[in-house]
Chain A
Amino acid sequence: MKSLKNHLSLIVALLSILFSLQTFIVVDRAIASYKQNLANNYSLVVVSKKRLQKDVIVSKNPLINEINEISPDTVLKKLDGDMKRKEREFLKLSLPKFYKLKLSHYPSPDEINSLTKALLRDSSIVKVETFSRTHDTTYKLLLLFKSVISLFAISVAIVTILLISKELKIWQFKHNERMSIMALHGAPIWLRSAVLFRLAIVDALVATFLGFLLFSYIASSAWIAEQFSYIGIDVVVFDTFKDSLMMFSVSMTLSIFLATIIVLVHKEEV
């Protein structure tokens, strides 16, 4: 009972830190996935007098992922159905070429501008359609998401600092007396702090394990998966290896740091 109480406060603090950190990571992943979704669904349309060389176009700007010709048939089908076959062939030849450009990521308005300019430098390209109005609103939304996640990151950092400094005070109060008494009996510094480091390491391990259980459970919940699929994104809530490793290193670093500070600032009372 007694030893459980000794461990509990640091474990709870570490677990809250791991929880907010992992939540932050999930939100970050969700936004990245949403961004990728946007990039996949967004394309420019380029109108050209002549047939374009695909690799030349792609090399114009690193943003361009692929370029595909839009078949004129779809356009022509909409025109009068009883046009003669020959006339249609002729029209097809005289029509400009339409291309669809896919981009590697969702571009900022500036990126779109420079991309448009680069494309128009090609004398055969007559028009670049960027669908700028819808793009702008979506982009603003994305910027909003980004500032939300920065705020989130800041609040995770603040929570971490607050919890750890509170833990520091509790630990100082709890361990200074014992360390003083051990010093009065001639215990060298490594022996005085051994208990502290053992406690720190055990607590970090327990917190990591609990964080692992918690997020494994959350990741397996059908409700969470449902929420993400509503938005149409695919998010890894808990990467068993990578995220466990992150939790382990974060909690170990924090608790060892805490123990080191306590040992360094320890003053013997008379």
Chain B
Amino acid sequence: MDKVIIARDLSLAYSKDEPIINKVNFVIDSGSFVFITGASGSGKSTLLKSLYGALKPQSGSLVVAGVELNGVSRSKLNFLRQHMGIVFQDYKLIKEWTIEKNIMLPFMIAGYDKVQQQTQLDKLLNHVRLKHQVGKYPQELSGGEQQRVAMARALSHTPVLILADEPTGNLDDYSSQLIWNLLEGANSSDWKATVIVVTHHIPESMSVDYKHYHIEYGSIHEVT
């Protein structure tokens, strides 16, 4: 099976002498579904940041979709990001844009056909149950609603790699289930996206096979 992520002796740090992730090795198969857990402050978001190239490896090698991120060029990184869907822990929605425009941002960057845009938008708004909020700006939405906008945005351009940082952190059971269904849908069937999710609670009823990694004291190990 193809490897979508290969980490070799990977160290991540914000300042020189304090590594958050220390010389870890792991491999993620293409098309797999991965949960990452760990205590608050253990480095889960830090690891995701490195996967989308916002944090350069301090040392070691990190290859994502065949691209070495240690010393990656700007244009390569842009290309890579255009094929990723990211749900940020703090959502990172654009305040001055309506939720529709926010959702379609990756779609617009990918330069997809304008005609498909409306169909895709309607589908996504349906999926995350936000049809009634059309025309509103992020601040006019509840935390959970903003989180669902972030989820819809991460899926708008049918990415091959989805990184989600606590995508259900602010949601009730019902909405959480919606999100899990969406992520499972992206992973299964014809889409076959690789999904990496940081969470504190792994849902009990998962319909797809998944792997579970735990981060502790700067190292990563698989939970079986």
Contact B49 A270 (CB under 8 A): yes
Number of CB contacts from chain A to chain B under 8 A? 50
- Contact residue among A3, A6, A186, A270 (Cβ-Cβ distance under 8 Å from B109): A186
B67-96, CB < 8 A from A:
75, 77-84, 86, 88, 92-96
B33 at the interface (CB under 8 A from A): no
Q: List 23 A-B contacts (CB under 8 A).
A: A2-B137, A6-B96, A178-B95, A178-B96, A178-B97, A181-B105, A182-B94, A182-B105, A183-B78, A184-B52, A184-B54, A185-B81, A185-B105, A185-B106, A185-B109, A186-B77, A186-B79, A186-B106, A186-B109, A187-B78, A188-B75, A191-B109, A270-B49
B55 at the interface (CB under 8 A from A): yes
Binary interface encoding of chain A residues 1-33 relative to chain B, with 1 for a CB under 8 A from any of its CBs, else 0 = 011001000000000000000000000000000
Main secondary structure of the interface of A (DSSP, over half): helix
Contact B96 A184 (CB under 8 A): no
Distance from A125 Cβ to chain B, minimum over Cβ atoms (Å): 78
Give me 12 other A-B pairs in contact (C-beta within 8 A), A182-B109, A188-B75, A188-B78 excluded: A177-B95, A178-B96, A182-B105, A184-B88, A184-B92, A185-B105, A186-B77, A186-B81, A186-B82, A186-B84, A268-B54, A270-B54
B27-62, CB < 8 A from A:
49, 52, 54-55
Distance from B153 Cβ to chain A, minimum over Cβ atoms (Å): 8
- Contact residue among B75, B82, B137 (Cβ-Cβ distance under 8 Å from A185): B82
- Contact residue among A177, A191, A268 (Cβ-Cβ distance under 8 Å from B94): A177
Binary interface encoding of chain A residues 153-176 relative to chain B, with 1 for a CB under 8 A from any of its CBs, else 0 = 000000000000000000000100
Closest to B111 in A: A191
- Contact residue among B55, B96, B109, B137 (Cβ-Cβ distance under 8 Å from A187): B109
A117-138, CB < 8 A from B:
none
Complex contacts, A182 vs chain B, CB 8 Å? 94, 105, 109
Complex contacts, A2 vs chain B, CB 8 Å? 96, 137
How many B residues touch A, CB cutoff 8 Å? 25
A154 to B102, CA, bound (A): 45
Give chain A's interface residue range (CB within 8 Å of chain B).
Answer: 10 to 19
- Contact residue among A177, A178, A186 (Cβ-Cβ distance under 8 Å from B78): A186
Closest to B154 in A: A185
Interface residues of B (CB under 8 A from A): 49, 52, 54-55, 75, 77-84, 86, 88, 92-97, 105-106, 109, 137
A2 to B52, CA, bound (A): 32
Binary interface encoding of chain A residues 138-159 relative to chain B, with 1 for a CB under 8 A from any of its CBs, else 0 = 0000000000000000000000
Complex contacts, B54 vs chain A, CB 8 Å? 184, 268, 270
Distance from A158 Cβ to chain B, minimum over Cβ atoms (Å): 31
- Contact residue among A3, A183, A185, A270 (Cβ-Cβ distance under 8 Å from B55): A270
**Which of A3, A181, A191 has most chain B Cβ within 10 Å?**
A181
Distance from B55 Cβ to chain A, minimum over Cβ atoms (Å): 6
**Which of A178, A184, A185, A188 has most chain B Cβ within 10 Å?**
A185
A2 to B152, CA, bound (A): 23
A192 to B63, CA, bound (A): 26
Closest to B78 in A: A186
Complex contacts, B137 vs chain A, CB 8 Å? 2
Complex contacts, A181 vs chain B, CB 8 Å? 92-94, 105
Distance from A262 Cβ to chain B, minimum over Cβ atoms (Å): 15
A6 to B97, CA, bound (A): 11
Closest to B54 in A: A270
A171-223, CB < 8 A from B:
174, 177-178, 181-188, 191
